Each structure stands twice: as structure tokens, then as C-alpha cells.
Amino acid sequence: MIEVRNLQKSYGDFAVLRNVSFTVARGEKIVILGPSGSGKSTLIRCFNRIEPHDAGEITIDGERIDQKTELTRLRCMVGMVFQNYNLFPHLTVLENCALPPRVVKGAGREDAEELAMNFLHRVNIADQARKYPIQLSGGQQQRVAIARALCMQPSVMLFDEPTAALDPEAVSGVADIMASLSADGMTTLCVTHEMGFARRIADRIIFMDQGRILESAPPEVFFTQPRTERARDFLSQMIRY
Amino acid sequence: MHGTPLPPHAAHPATRRSRPADPSLKRLRARRLPWVALLWTCMVLGLAAAPVARAQQAPSFAAGGLTVCTNPTLPPMTFVNGTDGSDLAGVDIDVSRRLGAYWHVPVTFVSMDFVGLFPSLEAGRCGMVISGVVRQAAREVKFDAVPYQPTSLVVVARAGTAHVTSMADLSGKVLAVESGTSYAARIAQENVALAAAGRPAIEIQQYPTEDQVVQQVLIGRAFAFVSQDVELAFRQTQLNGKVSVIFQPDYPEYRNFAIYIRKDARDRAALEGAIAALRDGGQMTPILQRWRIMPGGGDMQAGDQKAVSGFNWRTFAAALVSPAFARGAAITLAMAVLSHMTAIGLAVPMAMVMNGRDGMLKSAIRAYVALFRAAPTLLQLLFVWNALPQFLPVFRESWFTPFLAAWISLSINEAAYQVEINRAALQAIDPGQALAGDALGMTRMQVYRHIIFPQALRIALPPTINEFISLIKTTSLASVISLQELLAVTQINVARTFEFTEYYAAALIYYLLIVFFFLWVQKRIERRFAWADRLKATSHAAA
Ligand SMILES: Nc1ncnc2c1ncn2[C@@H]1O[C@H](COP(=O)(O)OP(=O)(O)OP(=O)(O)O)[C@@H](O)[C@H]1O
Ligand SMILES: [Mg+2]
């Protein structure tokens, strides 16, 4: 489904991604781990081309992502959820979800709102549809952000530390939703710093350091017998927290 | 130049304060010549205009029509008669009409602030300036001056004040003069002499209009004021004998009122000939009698309203409902709204560039903002109205009205301030908002329109309304380029009647109404920003 070959990206002289290659199967849930600054966010932002890459190749569903890619179409196919939710504060929950299909896909207001309500039900937040984001808790806001991304009906979802600002109960709510997504065949790539969360949702862990992929393994393998010294250090530090 | 005669208006403190010190912009008043000298002058002028047949031919500045610039705040020379604010009257107006008839050309009057008169003459916006301006050598360097009426400087104090015998007797006293005139400079010369004699100086206080000068003496703040005999004679009927002349200084440079034209020897000769012909033909006398400069006339149209003590509610009410005030307020409002909307339209794209990457465009905008914030608004108005036509003659044509010129100047000026407000508002929006919009597949324009602008509006609204309210007041500067807005209408009526409080109060009511209306609009719009506040958002959602 997703193929990454020799992906490279630098900011000036600083190489953020160095020859990253991996593949993701349809419906697979990938969790990307790694120390701060290792290039995780940069990597997943290359998939919806919020960060254009310098060299190498990304293909999604056989389609190459490069400067010729039509961005609107790509971003309809690849949804993204942020650490700080980035909900639109001036719009109600319902409007947050209904606006993108309306302006991007030209859906009618009623259709868009019906679609939005469906996904709000899906993430268990439909009862808050008329509220403004400021009135919701962090966990509720993150669920709205997921619903908003789903309203574009993407086939790939990118999550950049979706639970970093949430309390443990809210984390588990988000994890439930992510699990249910892949049950419907959604491909997900998720960056996180929470090992429990990673272990719970991941089909496979990708471990990055200094712009390189050092390990790629199922969670039970990665967490119990990491192959590299770097990953062992990383895990021991994480556990100490 | 203007298709229809423009309504007159007067200056107000803000414009006068910024008056340049250029002597060519200063009004001079004159001293009465002995009648013998006048007769002699007439003979000379008559000789100069010897080929009478040619004198009937309009001079070049009046070819096709005579356009006259005047500042109608100096009765009986030039002022507005009646409350509707468009009925020019006075000696200068009558003389202009007679000249038009003499040359068989239509006469158009353009009334404007005093400061605007000579720049307008220079820019070719009018053929001549006649506005109770005295003949003065300094001004004749740039323009030709043709005298038409003798006058004399007078020092006036409250009735009953003892006469003085020299200017030096005013040592240590407060003397009120009209600012922008050359009186202050002339009296400063007396102060030099006083200082040399070791005596205290005459304390000069300058006020932007003649009526305010008079008022200072009436309320007792100033000991005396400086005026001209013709004006004083006229004012006496309004003032009910409350003031009297205490001294008549003999300053040679204040002896004649003159018509000013652009330098041209033939035009000058033609104008001199025309004035002499009017005088010889007995056409000047009825004018002077009519305005009580010479005895014998009776038809005094203005000055019949006496200054009353206390607040005249009838004047106040009449002013409030008068078409002139309503029109002035409408012009003020329209000018402020149009200029500010244009400014916002210009400022939003500039603010977007300012928040983007560095580049040529950004530097250009930065320079624009710095320039237009540094230059006084009044200067910008004068530049657009008077200097622009010298570079680009199209701006001299009649489509370029004072309203249009003020609209352009104020928009460009206001946009420089609005850029900063908009830039700060855009910058205050979390970059994550645009990022989320991008990630959802929105285009740049969609992100701005649906996500950034609605949030930035909330931040920009209060400072924008503040700017707007200040712009409403700034529009009054446009009186200098002859736009007859609210404060101009007020000044004209005050100059005519001396009923300060009543007309100021009426203007205040209009300003308050306009400002309160927009504050109310602001409240209405802010209700839509409940989303930014948790408590309000809750009650909003419940509603
Ligand atoms: N716009 C940019 N300009 C320059 N350097 C950048 C830029 N964005 C990221 N970087 C650098 O690239 C490196 C990788 O950044 P990235 O955000 O991908 O790291 P990360 O693995 O997501 O880290 P974290 O866990 O802290 O989120 C960091 O060293 C960062 O400083
Ligand atoms: Mg990151």
C-alpha cells in the first residue's frame, strides 16, 4: 500500500531523513518510535506532503508522491491528526467536521453535516456536536480531530503524538478508536512516546534515530528483544520515566 | 474645474495647527489709504487699461470661465450667508461676479480652507484668489496682486477700554490674532523693540479662526485682538457694540485687499483694467454700500442675528435639523466609511505578504508603512490635491473632486496603520490552524477565508474600530481641500453668527451619534466571538 524508498530530506546542511526505506501493508498499524529530533514527525509529514521530501520515492496505492501530485487529492486520501488537536476554535464541533468536505469536496451543507454526525457517533462525541472546542476536554477534542480527519474519508491516517497531551483514561479512548479504524481496513502510521499505547495498537514498530530506521519489528519482538544498542538505551530510558 | 460651485466651508483647529510657516500662506490685512491716494490709484489703473476694447476680452486665467478660490470665513469680504452653507456672499463674491460679467464668462467659486488657497492657485485649480487677503510684497514674489479695496489694521478691545497711543502700550497684555496670518509675525517685531527697551512683550495668542479670536476678547481672556476695519464694522452689528477700536497702527503692508493671480504681466494689466473699469463705471460703490463699508447702503443680509448671552436653543435645534449639518455629517460618515473600507481592502493583502517570507514586496510595504505613518495626514491631503496635478495634469480635471482626492489620501494613509493591525492579528493565529487546514486539503485561499480570517477578525476588530473612530475625526482635515464635512459646516456657521456653543453642540451631537452607532455595531459583531470564551460559549450554545 505504502512504499518508501531511499527517502531523504534536509534542512540546509542538516539531514533529517537519510535513506529511509520501508513498506506498509493495507490496514497495517505502524507505530514510529525514536528519541526527540530523530525525524519522526518529518517522516510522516512527507506522506501528505506537508513537508516535501528532497530525494527518494514515496508511493501510496501505486501513486508517486512528488511535486506533480495534486495536493488536494492526496490530502483527501491521507488524513492527519496532531498533538494539539488543532481544531478550529471559531466553529462548533459539527462545523469543524462538516467544513472540510464542504469546501474541499464541494459537498452540500446537509450531506456534509450528516457525514460529520456519522463520524462523531463513531468516535462517541455526537452529543457534543453543537459545542465549541473550548468547551471540551482534551480527550474529547482529540476525538473530534479524528472525526474531522475521517470526514474526508481517507485510506491512510497519520497521527503525530495524538495522546501526548491527554490523561491515561483519554489515551485509552483514543487507542480504542484507532483499533476500530484498522478493523475497517484503515492504514495508520502513528508517532508516539507512550510505550503502553504503542504496544497496544501497533502491528509493527519502526524505531528511528538520527534520520535512519534502525529497527522494524512487531511490538512483542521490539519491546522484549531489541536488536540494536540504541533501541535498548531508548527503551531503558523510557521505562525509567 | 468643478462642474458646480462647491459648497464653502471653513477651517478648524486641526488644520490650522499644521499650517506651514511659508509667508505665501499668510493672510495679511490692510490699512485704509486716504481717499485721495485711492483716486490717484484709480487714474493710474485707468490709464494702464487704456485699450478698453481689449479689456473686455477675458484674460488667460479666466478664459472660458472664471474660477475663484475663497475661504468664506471673513465677513463682509467673503462668508456664507444663511444656514444652508452654500450661499456665498460678501464684497469678494460680488466683485468676482462683476468681473465675470465684465469679461462675459461664467464664475465658479471654490471655497476651501485658507491654507489651501495659494497652493490651489499655483496648481491651476482656480484662476484667482479673492478672500480678504491683503497685498503683501512677500507674496508678490510668486503671484501677481491687484488691489481692489483699501483697508486698515485695527486693535480692538472690549467697549469702554481706554484708547492707547502706540503698540508699545500693549506691552505685557494678551493680544489674540488669527493663526496663519502675518499679524503674529508683525507684532513679534514690536516685541523686539519692547525687549530692547527692557519692557515686557505683548503676549500673542493665536486662534485658527477670526470668530475665535473675537471670542477671546469677549470672554476676557485676551485684552485685545487685531482685525481689519471693514471686518470690524460688519462684526459690530453682531457684537452689539460690545467691542471698540482702541488703536489703529499704521502698518504700510496692511493697506489694501488684493486679488491674486498667477504671474503674467498681461493678465495683471487686464485685471487692473477691469477693476478700474468697474470703479469708473460706478459698480464698486453699491457693493461697498451693500456691505456697509461705505455709508448709504441698507441691504445688509447677514449679521442680523445678535449674539445672545446664554444658550440659544432655537439656533441649536435649527442647526441640528438643518440640511447643511445633515449633509456635513453624511459627508463625514461616507468619507470615513469608504476610506476605511478601502484601507482594509488594501491592508489585508499587504498584511498577508508581511507575514510571509522576506522579499522585495515585503520591503516595499515596510517602506510604504513607514512613509505614510510618518507624514502628517494634512500634508498628504494637500499633496494629493495640490501637488499631484503639477506632475500629472489629469488630476486637474473636474472628475478629480475633493471627495475623491480625500478618499484616496485618507485610504492610503489609513491603510498604513491598518496593515500593522492586520499583520498582528494574522500573526496571533496559531500556525497549527493553517497546518490543519492544509492537511485537510484546503487551498491557501480557503484556509485564509474559512479558518484564519474569521479568527483574525476577532483580534483585529477592537483596534480597527478605534482606528475608524479616529478616522471619523480625521476626515475634518479634508476641509483644507474644500470638502464640506461636518466641522467645516460648523465653522462656517460660527463665523457667520458668533453662536459658538450652539453650533459646536450641534456638531458634537452628530459626532456622538456616529461614534456610538459604531460602538454598538462593534458590540453586535463581538457577540459572534463567543467561541473564544468558555463561559460565553456555553450560554451561546444553550441559546
Ligand atoms: N523547519 C525546520 N527547519 C529546520 N530544522 C527543522 C525543521 N523542522 C524540524 N527540524 C529539525 O529536524 C529534526 C527532526 O525534527 P522532527 O520534528 O521530525 O523530530 P521528531 O522526531 O518528531 O522529534 P520529537 O519527538 O521531538 O517530535 C530536528 O532536529 C528538528 O530540529
Ligand atoms: Mg515530532
pLDDT in tens, B392-442: 888 877 788 889 999 999 999 999 999 999 999 999 999 999 999 999 999
From the list B187, B117, B128, B130, the residue with the least C-alpha distance to B153 is B187
The amino acid present at B464, given as its one-letter code, is T
Say which residue the cell 457694540 belongs to. B241
- Give the cell for residue B345: 481592502
In the numeric block, the cell 456622538 is attached to: B512
pLDDT at A114 over 50: yes
What ipTM did this prediction achieve?
Answer: 0.94
> In this predicted structure, what is the pLDDT of residue B180?
64
- By three-state DSSP, how is residue A213 classified? strand
pLDDT at position B300: 38
> Are B170 and B218 part of one and the same domain?
yes
Residue B343 and residue B442 in one domain: yes
Determine the average pLDDT of the residues in A119-127.
94
The reported pLDDT for the residue numbered A241 is 57
- Compute and round to an integer the Cα radius of gyration of chain A: 18
Percent of chain B scoring above 70 in pLDDT: 84
Whether the CB-CB separation of B492 and B9 falls below 8 Å is answered with yes
What pLDDT is attached to residue A169? Answer: 87
SS3 state of residue A30: strand
Chain B residues inside the 8 Å CB shell of A104: 440-442, 446
Residues with Cβ within 8 Å of residue B524, at least 6 apart in sequence: none
Render B50-77 in DSSP notation, one character per residue. Answer: --HHHHTSPPGGGTT-EEEEE--EETTT
Give the rounded distance of the alpha carbon of A168 from its chain centre.
19
Tell me, yes or no, whether B2 lies in a domain.
no
The answer to whether the CB of B354 falls within 8 A of the CB of B362 is: yes
For residues B46 and B36, give the distance between their C-alpha atoms in angstroms, rounded to a whole number: 15
Tell me: do B420 and B487 sit in the same domain: yes
- The order of strands in the sheet holding A63-64 is A14-24, A2-11, A55-60, A63-64
Which residues crowd ion ligand 2, with CB under 5 Å? A 41
In one letter, which amino acid is B391? F
Question: For residue B51, is the peptide bond before it cis, meaning its omega torsion is within 30 degrees of 0?
Answer: no
Give yes or no for a cis peptide into B5 (omega within 30° of 0). no
| Domain co-membership, B265 together with B279 | yes
Quick check: A229 pLDDT over 70? yes
Structural domain contains residue B392: yes
Radius of gyration of chain B (CA): 27
Residue B300, C-alpha cell as written in the block = 445688509
> In DSSP terms, which residues pair with B111 in a beta bridge?
B70
Q: Which B residues, 437 through 466, put their C-beta within 8 Å of a C-beta on chain A?
A: 438-443, 446, 450-451, 454-455, 458
A134/B534 touch (CB, cutoff 8 Å), yes or no: yes
Which residues, in sequence order, are bridge partners of residue B64? Answer: none
Put simply, the chain A residues between 1 and 40 with a CB less than 8 A from any chain B CB are none
Cα-Cα-Cα-Cα dihedral sign, residues B340, B343, B347, B349: positive
* Alpha carbon separation from B243 to A41, A59, B222, B480, B526 (Å, rounded): 86, 96, 12, 31, 55
Residues B182 and B84 in one domain: no
Predicted pLDDT of residue B6: 34
User: Do both B249 and B263 map to the same domain?
Assistant: no
How much is the average pLDDT of B485-500?
81
CATH code of the domain covering residue B420: 1.10.3720.10
Query: B267 and B220 in one domain?
Result: no
Helices (H) and strands (E) in chain A, counts: 9, 10
**pLDDT recorded at residue B520:** 94
Whole-angstrom Cα distance, residue A148 to residue B442?
A: 13
Annotation: CATH topology of A2-240: Rossmann fold (3.40.50)
Q: Give the pairing type, strands A187-191 and A204-209.
A: unpaired
Contact A86 B537 (CB under 8 A): no
Read off the pLDDT of each residue in B455-478 and give the average, rounded to a whole number.
93
- Confidence (pLDDT) at B251: 84
Decide if pLDDT at B390 tops 80: no
Q: Please compute the mean of the pLDDT values over residues B32-41 and round it to a whole number.
A: 43
Ligand 2 mean position, distance from CA A40 (Å): 6
- Residue showing cell 490523561: A167
Q: From the CA of A69, how many Å to the nearest CA of chain B?
A: 12
Q: Does A154 touch chain B (CB under 8 A)?
A: no
pLDDT for res B51: 43
Which of B275, B302, B329 is the endpoint of a domain?
Answer: B302
Single-letter amino acid, residue B476: S
* Residue B396 identity: R
Query: Which of A88, A94, A148, A153 to mutate: most B Cβ within 10 Å?
Result: A88
Chain A residues whose CB is inside 8 A of the B534 CB are 134-135
On the question of pLDDT at B362 being above 90, the answer is yes
Containing domain of residue B355, as a range? 317-542
* Distance linking the first and last C-alpha atoms of chain A: 36
Please check whether residues B360 and B407 belong to one and the same domain.
yes
- Nearest Cα residue to B374 out of B422, B424, B421, B413: B413
Say whether residue B53 is in contact with chain A using an 8 A CB cutoff. no
Taking the Cβ of residue B87 and every Cβ of chain A, the question of whether any pair is shorter than 8 Å is answered with no
Distance separating alpha carbons of residues B42 and B48, to the nearest angstrom: 10
Dihedral sign computed on CA atoms, order B427, B432, B436, B438: positive
Looking at residues B139-145, what average pLDDT do you find? 92
DSSP H or E run through B530? none
Residue B231 maps to a domain:
yes
Quick one: B195 and B211 in the same domain? Answer: yes
Does a structural domain hold residue B307? no
Angle at the Cα of A152 from the Cα atoms of A28 and A201, rounded to 5 degrees: 25
Q: Does residue B278 sit in the same domain as residue B244?
A: no
Q: Cα–Cα distance between A46 and A41 in angstroms, integer?
A: 9
* pLDDT band of A240, cuts 50, 70, 90: low
Determine whether B435 is exposed, middle or buried from the number of CB atoms within 10 Å of its CB (0-12, 13-18, 19+): middle
3 state DSSP class of A29: strand
Cβ proximity of A211 and A20 under 8 Å: yes
- Rounded to 10 deg, the angle between the B500-526 and B323-354 helix axes is 40
Mean pLDDT, residues B453-466:
94
Nearest-CA neighbor of B10 among B164, B115, B121?
B115
Clarify whether residues B454 and B520 are in a common domain: yes
Q: Is B464 exposed, middle or buried (0-12, 13-18, 19+ CB in 10 A)?
A: buried
Average pLDDT, chain B: 82
Residue B290 belongs to a domain with what CATH number?
Answer: 3.40.190.10
Is B446 in contact with A103 (Cβ distance < 8 A)?
A: yes
pLDDT at B355 over 60: yes
Ligand 1 site, residue A11, Cβ cutoff 6 A: yes
Secondary structure letter of residue A31 according to DSSP: E
Q: Is the dihedral of CA A170, A171, A173, A178 positive or negative?
A: positive
Considering A111-125, B20-34, B249-263, the range whose residues carry the highest mean pLDDT is A111-125
Count of domains observed in chain B: 4
Reported as a single tens digit per residue, the pLDDT across A10-51 is 999 999 999 999 999 999 999 999 999 999 999 999 999 999
Query: How is residue B326 written as a grid cell?
Result: 445633515
Which three cell numbers, joined as nine digits, stand for B144? 501677481
SS (H, E, C) B132-192: CCECCHHHHCCEEEEEEEECCEEEEEECCCCCCCCHHHHCCCEEEEECCECHHHHHHHHHH
- B356 and B481 both lie in a single domain: yes
Pairing of strands A156-160, B88-89: unpaired
